[in-house]
């Protein structure tokens, strides 16, 4: 067994451990908590980490403080004119310091699959295991403390259609993203700012594999989020996510979205967005409504 495949099997076993930990945490009333301000744990992004819809933030998911555990489960649906992406998963935040997450993405090619010779509604599945660690700062501005919260993270990804992604030019069906992210919430201005730098080889988040015939090495791509708190339970904002352009079969565009997030309490939130996804394989100008539901503590 290759080192890469062996590493992924370890990651899959690790995801089982995360799920067990999440179940134990849900029963540990003495540790479970919700000490953070509403919406300061973020929502869940497409790959399972706490943040915006498109990009991770430096916040640790859930509402647990430094002596508590928090956790979330989520489901997200993004449906453009020609494709559909479903993402679901869970995360656990440990003592506002470490975040462990798992997610599964299903990408449905719908009618495009038949045009490509794959069959109608051909599906790519991707498993993702994430780890994020807070390394400095605090996301919430306190007096003269302008240092943002800073975190580093990684996302281990595996696509189940290795033969197909290699046929379109990808080099691998598994890959790892690395990122550093900084987040600051300016309470007096009701404004949240986030910037992320991601080192990645992923094609369309990894749905079309990793690396390509144009470029196989890592690219460092910026991701930006801006959110305005209209009320303590309601936020609007926008995001930008740059992506590498590794495949000769089709250019890959940046993602943009505008969103509204509503959290009636600390146990549930709903995010609605409208996303500009650009070109995806043979279909250009893909636009999509985005719906994400999150539950946790």
Domains of the chain, each with CATH number or no CATH? 3-296 (2.40.160.40)
Spatial distance between the Cα atoms of 174 and 164, rounded to a whole number of angstroms: 13
Q: What is the DSSP letter of 66?
A: T
Please say whether the beta carbons of 72 and 89 come within 8 A: no
Sign of the C-alpha dihedral, residues 115, 120, 121, 123?
A: negative
Residue closest to 237 by CA, chosen among 267, 197, 194, 278: 194
DSSP calls for 119-177: -TT-EEEEEEEEEEEEEE--SB-BTTB-PPEEEEEEEEEEES-HHHHHHTT-SBSEEEE
CA 3 to each of CA 129, 161, 162, 174: distance values in angstroms, whole numbers, following the listed order: 17, 19, 16, 12
Written as tens digits, the pLDDT of the chain (297 aa) is 444 444 444 444 444 444 444 444 344 444 555 667 777 778 999 999 999 999 999 999 999 888 999 999 999 999 999 999 999 999 999 999 999 999 999 999 999 888 888 888 999 999 999 999 999 999 887 656 789 999 999 999 999 999 999 999 999 999 999 999 999 999 888 999 999 999 999 999 999 999 999 999 999 999 999 999 999 899 999 999 999 999 998 889 999 999 999 999 989 999 999 999 999 988 999 999 999 999 998
The three-state secondary structure class of 16 is helix
């Amino acid at each position: 067994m290759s080192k890469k495949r062996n590493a992924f099997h370890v990651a899959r076993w690790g995801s089982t451990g995360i799920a067990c930990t999440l179940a134990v945490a849900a029963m540990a009333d003495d540790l479970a908590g919700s000490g953070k301000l509403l919406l300061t744990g973020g929502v869940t992004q497409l790959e399972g980490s706490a943040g915006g819809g498109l990009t991770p933030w430096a916040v640790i998911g859930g509402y647990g403080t430094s002596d508590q555990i928090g956790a979330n489960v989520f489901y997200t649906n993004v449906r453009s004119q020609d494709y559909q992406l479903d993402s679901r998963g869970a995360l656990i935040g440990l003592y506002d310091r470490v975040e462990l997450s798992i997610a599964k993405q299903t990408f449905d090619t719908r009618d495009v699959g038949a045009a490509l010779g794959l069959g109608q509604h051909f599906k790519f599945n991707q498993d993702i295991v994430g780890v994020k660690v807070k390394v400095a700062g605090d996301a919430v501005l306190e007096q003269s403390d302008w240092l943002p919260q800073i975190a580093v993270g990684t996302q281990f990804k595996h696509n189940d259609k290795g033969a197909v992604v290699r046929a379109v030019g990808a080099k691998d069906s598994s890959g790892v993203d690395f990122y550093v992210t900084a987040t600051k919430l300016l309470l007096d201005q009701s404004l949240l700012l986030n910037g992320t730098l991601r080192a990645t080889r992923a094609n369309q988040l990894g749905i079309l594999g990793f690396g390509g015939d144009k470029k196989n090495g890592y690219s460092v791509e910026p991701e930006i989020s801006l959110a305005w708190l209209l009320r303590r339970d309601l936020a609007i904002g926008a995001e930008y996510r740059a992506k590498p352009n590794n495949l000769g079969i089709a250019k890959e565009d940046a993602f943009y979205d505008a969103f509204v997030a509503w959290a009636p309490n600390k146990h549930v939130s709903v995010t609605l967005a409208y996303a500009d996804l650009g070109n995806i394989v043979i279909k250009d100008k893909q636009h999509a409504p985005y719906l994400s539901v999150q539950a946790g503590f």
